[in-house]
Amino acid sequence: MKKLLLAALLSLGCLNNFAENLPRPEYPRPQFEREEWVNLNGTWSFDFDFGLSGKDRQFQKAEQFSRQITVPFCAESKLSGVQHLDFINCMWYQRKLTIPSDWAGKKIFLNFGAVDYLSEIYIDGQLLQRHWGGSSSFSVDITRYVKAGQTHNLVVRVEDDLRSGKQTGGKQCSGYYSGGCSYTRVTGIWQTVWMEAVNENGLKAAVIRPDIDQKQLVIAPEFYKESNNTLEVVLRDGDKTVAKKTVLCANSAIVVLPVKNMKLWSPESPFLYDIEYRVKDQDGNVIDEVKSYAGMRKVHTADGKFYLNNKPYFQRLVLDQGFYPDGIWTAPSDEALKNDIMLGKNAGFNGARLHQKVFEERYYYWADKLGYLTWGESASWVMDVNDELAVRNYLTEWSEVVVRDRNHPSLVTWTPLNETWGSRDGVYPRFVRDLYHLTKAMDPTRPVNDASGDDHILTDIWSVHNYEQDGKRLAEQLTFTEGKEPYRNSRDKKFLAVYEGQPYMVDEFGGIGWMAPEDRKDSWGYGGLPETAEEFYTRLEGQVKALKDSEHVVGFCYTQLTDIEQEKNGIYYYDRTPKLDMKKIKEIFEMIPSSHTH
């Protein structure tokens, strides 16, 4: 009865007021939120297609497949109900789409948070769109292919060739068994799928740029169709209107909102202003309304330091890989995303390097609200950085990531690549230069760390990885000597950049293992395992002290937030329970205050 009622409510346009049975029911894009949407998570039918013969068998027209899967969880995960752990080179999804009757005359979009890797979208057997990229969000305009009040058949085909070297994969293991620092694979839909209705003259996007120096918020809107309609933008502090501006619905329009008595955003005070966008027709009727928010903050680098709101700021980051025992890449709930941030804050970190995975927007939303710095990274591992097609695929995917996430105040650094130590002269230097300039063209407001852990070509931050476990030796390695290049991970490649005084950050260190005795045989951490908790604290304190005493280190990233499968070097277990005395751990990491300078 409940399913029938849900279907009826959806068809009547009552939308997501009855979504308690759906997995991940919350709106997936909280910085650009509309009321008229339908969550498509839940039970879909599916089949594997290991022989790549599905098109020959007309799978694109299938009304039902033989098996069931719970979206948005990947087929390898427990929460999907499938848990297929071998390689999946191709699979097909199917479900019915009932278009609410009151969506007539509107643009209708089918949105995918992420599908790994190549997806093809079919409506009633007709191919609408292909998308390359396992981590970037995309939308399909289905307006011409569906009718309000009717039910249509949606089929999604997915290909995933992790071992090809042509696509991103991050920490997904390219061998059958998880090993080292690679873990269970992810195939298919792994973020929320939803439909949305928008007026044909509605707001398509808005680039938010806080300008704290001139005490103003600058917004560049983009419309589905330029017209003589108007866009009203209202900036609020709670119930108080801070600023209000109306402009013509033109893509050349710039909205400048003065912000008096400005409240700055920081981890210590994560204040967010609410934004309301209203597109009005020439009679003053509201035809599109979007809710958003912004944080007034500035980040930049200068003189070897990282600045937040024009003050030097020491980043105490933790490596967060965003894996979950039951959902793999997909958090089991919105609360789980929030909880991971709280775990980091409770351990003394003021942010996280989001490692080898593009995190969903709900994570950034919680980081914005709770006050937690983030570094945005791609799932660049398993991709051949020396291959022309691979890097061409990468640039498209990365562009979509930057455009999606560039408005979040918590995101303070782009770090697209990680440990590209197999780089060679030729494709790689050109690729990284293009990557740097492309990122800056889309977002000139944040520093770019071109390749975390060196093989730098063009970078605003000089990052190195150093897992030296002895604090005294670590301090020696991080000591700068005049006339000599500082510690780096790659020295002998002549095509790499040389250090030119950028902020020097150790964006991987530590990784101290700690595990139950029965886990020690098949698990690992960096360095020999401490025998006691006191030995763990002493080793960690020695490393943090070395970073604090280093004259040039202006930020760190500790490996890592949680254990993941066989890698047992988190400060929390994989199930997010604490390993040790978290009060003591917090005290050690907070030996370096965020205001720390030399």
Quick: pLDDT tens for 546-576: 999 999 999 999 999 999 999 999 999 999 9
CA 326, CA 306: separation in Å to the nearest integer?
A: 37
Structure tokens at 73: 């969880």
CATH 2.60.120.260 fits 2-198, yes or no: yes
Q: Provide the β-strand partners of residue 241.
A: 236
Residue 414 CB burial class (10 angstroms; 0-12, 13-18, ≥19): buried
Phi, psi of 488 (to 5 degrees): -150, 170
Q: Provide the β-strand partners of residue 130.
A: 120
CA 596, CA 314: separation in Å to the nearest integer?
A: 6
CA of 163: how far to CAs of 87, 101, 166, in Å?
10, 45, 8
CA 558, CA 554: separation in Å to the nearest integer?
A: 14
Structure tokens at 112: 């995918």
Domain with CATH 2.60.40.10 in the chain: 213-294
CA 448, CA 306: separation in Å to the nearest integer?
A: 12
b/e per residue 460-478 (b: at least 16 CB within 10 A)? bbbbbbbbbbebeebbebb
Structure tokens at 303: 């003189």
CA 38, CA 133: separation in Å to the nearest integer?
A: 24
CA 422, CA 420: separation in Å to the nearest integer?
A: 6
404 contacts 366 by C-beta, under 8 angstroms: no
Beta-strand pair 118-123/126-132: antiparallel
295 contacts 210 by C-beta, under 8 angstroms: yes
Helix (H) or strand (E) holding 431: helix 427-442
Task: Name which CATH class applies to 213-294.
Answer: mainly beta
Cα Rg of the chain (Å, integer): 24
How does DSSP classify residue 57? T
Structure tokens at 187: 């195939």
CA 314, CA 319: separation in Å to the nearest integer?
A: 16
Task: Name which CATH class applies to 308-589.
Answer: alpha beta
Structure tokens at 372: 């937690």
CA 172, CA 2: separation in Å to the nearest integer?
A: 38
Q: What is the pLDDT along the chain (598 residues), one digit of tens a residue?
A: 333 334 444 444 344 444 558 999 999 999 999 999 999 999 999 999 999 999 999 999 999 999 999 999 999 999 999 999 999 999 999 999 999 999 999 999 999 999 999 999 999 999 999 999 999 999 999 999 999 999 999 999 999 999 999 999 999 999 999 999 999 999 999 999 999 999 999 999 999 999 999 999 999 999 999 999 999 999 999 999 999 999 999 999 999 999 999 999 999 999 999 999 999 999 999 999 999 999 999 999 999 999 999 999 999 999 999 999 999 999 999 999 999 999 999 999 999 999 999 999 999 999 999 999 999 999 999 999 999 999 999 999 999 999 999 999 999 999 999 999 999 999 999 999 999 999 999 999 999 999 999 999 999 999 999 999 999 999 999 999 988 999 999 998 999 999 999 999 999 999 999 987 777 777 888 888 898 999 999 999 999 999 999 999 999 999 999 999 999 999 999 999 999 999 999 999 999 999 988 7
- Give the position of tokens 């899967």: 69
How does DSSP classify residue 163? G
Total number of residues shown for the chain: 598
Domain with CATH 3.20.20.80 in the chain: 308-589
CA of 572: how far to CAs of 261, 281, 338, 406, 580, in Å?
41, 54, 15, 30, 8
Cis peptide before 72 (omega within 30 of 0): yes
Helix (H) or strand (E) holding 5: helix 2-11
CA 418, CA 536: separation in Å to the nearest integer?
A: 27
Closest CA to 190 of 136, 142, 154, 153: 136
User: In three state form, how does the secondary structure of 543-571 look?
Assistant: HHHHHHHCCCEEEEEEECCECECCECCCC
**CA dihedral of 338, 394, 177, 580, whole degrees rounded to 10:** -30
pTM: 0.95
With the C-alpha atoms ordered 364, 239, 282, 217, is the resulting torsion angle positive or negative? Answer: negative
How does DSSP classify residue 262? P
Position 96, amino acid: K
Domain with CATH 2.60.120.260 in the chain: 2-198
Q: Provide the β-strand partners of residue 139.
A: 111
